[in-house]
Chains A and B, each alone.
Chain A
Amino acid sequence: MNNALLRADLESLVGEQYVREHPTGYYIYGQQPLLSVAPGSLEELAQAVARLAAEHVAIVPWGGGTQQTWGRPPSRPFAVVLTGRLNRILDYTPDDLTISVEAGMTLGALSAALAANGQMLPLDAPLPDRATIGGLLATAMDGPRRLGYGSARDLLIGIRVVEATGRISKAGGMVVKNVSGFDMMKLYLGSFGTLAIIASANFKLIPQPRSAASILCRAATPEPLWKLVNAIASSQLTPVAVEYLEGIDLADTPFALAVRSEGLAAAVERHVRDVTTFAAQVGVQAEPLRDEAHIRLWEAINDIPQTASVAADELVVRVTCLPAALSSVLAAARTAAQHATVSLQAVARATNGVAYLRVRGSVSQLHEWHTAVLQVAPQTVLLAAPTSLVSEVPAFGTQIANLEVMQRIKQEFDPENLLNPGRFVV
């Protein structure tokens, strides 16, 4: 590869100031990119990818960089393609309850634009002012309100991507119901940018609720909180989030459950009343939170799984299991933490079977803990870890089915393995 020529070509495509050789600030597990390129339009993105592909340079798509520690580090030298300049709203007619935005727009900027029209996209991702739409889709990151409104999987209605060859293609549309052609959105969502780079996305929106409140339930042990979860799940209440918290400072207690209700004022009050009653029945204190306190609570909860600033001795994982198994999986993770003498923090979508766990300790302690967790939760994904641990543990767990089918898909879309090589399941 002729670096000077490649750089000159990219500069002519996107502008000199948007190409950097050996840039700092885009390290992934200690690896520095060969170069960075920041296209300013869909066409520039496509052409930059085509140019890099012509040189067989591996490409790492980079949005806000808040989740680049997920999975494994790149398996060979790479260029980063920055989406930060692709940050525009492409189409927004509020009464249609849909929006089309470029991939580099942050969730925070999007939420602000929607709030001005009394609407929302309740993805609830960590660090919304940094996390981009493209990155959140590539990782299929969820949030507490997936219980009430679904996750990106349910809210994404259209997509435009740049494939490894530089080809632009789209799927879906700007309507909330659409079976015209294959649902390619599902293919790209959560594929870690290994099949194509997301350039823009269309979403179904939700009107902001008339009223909202939370109930924060604190306990000295986890058991009564799981009883409370069951009581809520078997009632006809419709909370939009039920989050289990363990070892989190904000609750001022070792174990807590945060319940979020949104909707008609009377319906929200009913939730406050009933959850308080259920809590009393299992001997748990319940405190209603409204207005600022309610908003601050959820901002803090949403941020717990963040992976943008991770301590040098910290491991972050996501555990997925059937919802009924969650309490025992978390109990096993707690026991393992005691054995390995590491500190444990957990936030869990209590009725969805998804938990984000953070532990701190030496590499050998973290390794011991991770091995124990895999025993009970084979679907455990590595979100951040000390560099020396990353190559030692299975980043996507020990239960990866249908690998052959996935390899055929990867082969079809990116036969040269240019996009995020080595970082995902395939």
Chain B
Amino acid sequence: MNRAELIAELERILGPRGVVTNPDALLTYDADGCVMDTCEPHVVTLPTSAEQVAAIVRLAARAGMPIVPRGAGTGLAGGATPMQGGIVISTARMDKILQVDTANGRVLCQPGVINWELSQYLKPFGYQFAPDPSSQKACTIGGNIANNSGGPHCLKYGITASHVLAVQVVLPDGSIIWTGDGSAYAAGYDLTGVITGSEGTIGFVTAAWLRLTRLPEAVRVVLALFPDIAGASTTVSQVIATGLLPAALEIMDRLAIKAVNDMYKLGLPEAAGAALLIEVDGVEDGLDELLNDITAICWRNGAIDVRPARTLAEQNQVWAARKNAFGAMGRLAPTYYLVDTVVPRTKLPQTMDEVGRISREFRLPIANVFHAGDGNLHPIILFDRRDRSQNQRALEAATSVMKVSIDFGGVISGEHGIGVEKQDYMTLLFSTDDLAAMAGLHQSFDPHDLFNPGKVFPKGRGCGELAALRRSGVAWSALKSS
């Protein structure tokens, strides 16, 4: 099938408005938020239904072309970058919230719905969709599901996987399945669970039943300033030890404070080495008493300023600074590389020391904004992309952060995914046998590597090869002779 025939077929399935072939337009689909690697797709499609997605998938199989799923393109790991060209399937026109079913605690929506818009829509019903990535004003539900996204509030409410009840997916063979109806147990293996977080490599989500989370009756936020990260980290441990898991625990370091101060006029003392944001929620009763306890813990650990945010306006201002911290980095450098790793919570202060060392070693400033409650750090390496030496040093600094995180017992991604960005670092964390088990799961869905190929698994180790490896057992004779 030549390109003209492929496009004609796609236009027959989708109509002319559903197919993008203009070279200038295709160029805008050559990457997502990870701009280290780029590649243009052959064609971009904009289906409106699962049936259309299935038809595209069947056509792609015939044409021998890969399928690359794409939501808003805010991903930071290259998950939506068409590394081998092929057909991009955008969810831009599958953006409907289909049914709010409060009686069963679920909402049905299409993958192109924007995370923030879903929660705004649910507000009058008294509910929210709890996962709230920092990019929530742009990122889509489909992308959240593909990456099992996090966000500040997943400390208390859990990651996306805990909020996806069932999905409708188009499989690589072109079939359309529902993994359940939103009830607590579906018979057999947990297909919802394995598809969530698989980065579009085993199924294309075309609809989802998501969990509704009741909006809390009351919320309190405290912003506490500390001379250094250590004081803020100790406070985090002590707050949790009092027997309550806050809704969010976020830390910004000195450089990040400076950036958001400039942008949001927060008037935070720039002598502060760390700003700790603590949010607690629940029923109104007892929250003020809890707020006093938390404030006292902050002071005890050497806070230089503690600011309780009681009104919604105050709380929104504090949160805006945190959620837009990445945007504020533009004030400090032309480009930044946001690294996403996780360490056990108690290792955060030491990890931060190491990040400081890495900053000095590679002579690049690094700002830090992180989810302190769950050990998820986000060093932001500031550099100028036009400078090749800085570019190289930024990459090397990021690699060092990943290695340090693993050394402290952590992992290489907490919420952004592996994609292409981190695929070659998977071997730092996983043995060949570990990867082979994942490849086995992948093979059972996508034996021809049609969906988002060349992602997640290390380059040069094809899924097929890994999966074949795992079929050979631990030979008894070999054990016996050893």
Interface residues, chain A, with chain B CB atoms under 8 Å away:
9, 46-47, 50-51, 53-54, 93, 95-98, 118, 140, 142, 150, 153-154, 161, 163-171, 173-187, 189-191, 195-196, 206-210, 234, 236-238, 263-267, 269-271, 318, 320-324, 349, 351-354, 379, 381, 396-397, 399-403, 405-406, 408-409, 411-413, 415, 424-426
Contacts and interface: CB of A to CB of B under 8 A. Distances in A.
A412 B467 contact: yes
Which of A153, A179, A191, A322 is the most central at the interface, judged by chain B CB atoms within 10 Å of its CB?
A179
Q: Which range contains the number of B residues in contact with the other chain? A: 35 or more
Nearest to B477: A54
Given A97-B240, A182-B194, A353 B283 contact: no
B334 to A, nearest CB: 29
B187 A264 contact: no
B346 A322 contact: no
B411 A180 contact: yes
A103 B49 CA distance: 44
Interface string B234-265: 00010011111100000000000000000000
A264 B285 CA distance: 8
B470 interface: yes
B345 A178 contact: no
B285 A176 contact: no
A183 B105 contact: no
Contacts of B431: 169-170
B91 interface: no
Interface of B: 102-105, 126, 147-148, 150, 154, 158-159, 161-162, 171, 177-194, 196-198, 214-217, 237, 240-245, 282-287, 289-290, 342-346, 371, 374-376, 409-418, 422, 426, 429-431, 433-438, 440-445, 456, 467, 470-476, 479-480
Given A236-B283, A322-B104, A324-B104, A186 B193 contact: yes
A171 B434 contact: yes
Contacts of A353: 104, 183-184
A256 B467 CA distance: 52
Contacts of B289: 264, 266
A163 B415 CA distance: 28
B257 to A, nearest CB: 24
Nearest to A395: B187
Which of A168, A169, A185 is the most central at the interface, judged by chain B CB atoms within 10 Å of its CB?
A169
A177 B159 contact: yes
Given A169-B434, A405-B445, A175 B243 contact: no
Nearest to A165: B473
A181 B105 contact: no
Which of A181, A195, A238, A269 is the most central at the interface, judged by chain B CB atoms within 10 Å of its CB?
A181
B417 A179 contact: yes
A265 B286 contact: yes
A270 B287 CA distance: 12
A228 to B, nearest CB: 16
Contacts of B343: 175
B429 A181 contact: yes
Given A51-B476, A175-B344, A181-B429, A412 B375 contact: no
B185 A320 contact: yes
A169 B437 contact: yes
Contacts of B479: 47, 50-51
A191 B189 contact: yes
Contacts, number: 298
B345 A174 contact: no
A179 B197 contact: yes
Contacts of B215: 236
B397 to A, nearest CB: 19
Given A207-B245, A210-B243, A96 B187 contact: no
Given A168-B433, A177-B371, A354 B185 contact: yes
B203 to A, nearest CB: 9
30 contacts: A50-B476, A95-B346, A96-B375, A97-B345, A154-B158, A164-B473, A166-B476, A171-B434, A173-B410, A175-B374, A180-B411, A186-B194, A187-B189, A190-B185, A196-B437, A207-B244, A210-B242, A234-B102, A236-B215, A238-B214, A397-B187, A399-B187, A401-B180, A401-B186, A402-B188, A405-B177, A405-B444, A409-B189, A424-B188, A425-B188
A318 B285 contact: no
A94 B328 CA distance: 36
A402 B182 contact: no
Contacts of A185: 193
A352 B194 CA distance: 21
A172 to B, nearest CB: 8
Which of B183, B287, B467, B479 is the most central at the interface, judged by chain A CB atoms within 10 Å of its CB?
B183
A322 B181 contact: yes
Contact of B241 (A118, A405, A412): A118
A351 B217 CA distance: 19
Contacts of B104: 322-324, 353
Contacts of B418: 179-181
B169 to A, nearest CB: 10
A177 B415 contact: yes
A403 B470 CA distance: 23
